[in-house]
Amino acid sequence: MAALSFQHRFEPAADSGAMPLLLLHGTGGDENDLLPLGRALSPGAALLSPRGQVLEGGAPRFFRRLAEGVFDEADVVRRAGDLAGFVAAARAEYGLAAPLAVGFSNGANIAAALMLLHPGVLAGAVLLRAMVPLSTPPAERLAGEPVLILSGRMDPIVPADNAARLAAMLKEAGAAVTHEVLPAGHGLSQADLVRAKTWLTGRP
């Protein structure tokens, strides 16, 4: 465990056929926050849930921001690299296949950055209330990894055009993107759980 750089929780798989989930919390969350969501989305899947290493007023995050909705992009790049290294080490430690990320808000943003900067680290992603993490996308290419983006129509934090740009950016990079806008705000709703579970169940 000492070699794994992020404080985290790991729950081994009860269903060996289920894809592992990498759970990435939002601002102020921790490694425990999304475990119930992970269990609900994919019962029996291995769950790997790290805690973000950046503190903003004592609240854990996965990368620094300069203001609400304004990201420190150099830090995004650095922290995505750190997270990629952690995922590789955790896969070796726990004997995991490439995980599918389930990220909320700041966790969804780092998951999107991870896909764009480090193709192959993730098998896909469920991005809940995500924003564009990098103003200029890297030239890396994805290999058709499935991505579900769920946005909230009444979200006061994520502008609709920003979420749409993220969907277009991931599509352009080669991901198989499904983007849906739900009747919700920034917080997660029952509709998110139902839609994400249906989408996950349909994965090959």
**Residues annotated catalytic, as ranges:** 105, 155, 186
What is the Cα–Cα distance from 129 to 40, expressed in whole angstroms?
Answer: 19
Integer Cα distance of 155 and 31 in angstroms: 24
Using only C-alpha atoms, the chain has a radius of gyration, in whole angstroms, of 15
SS3 at position 82: helix
Taking alpha carbons only, the member of 193, 174, 191 closest to residue 182 is 191
What stretches of 136-193 adopt beta strand conformation (E)?
Answer: 146-152, 176-182
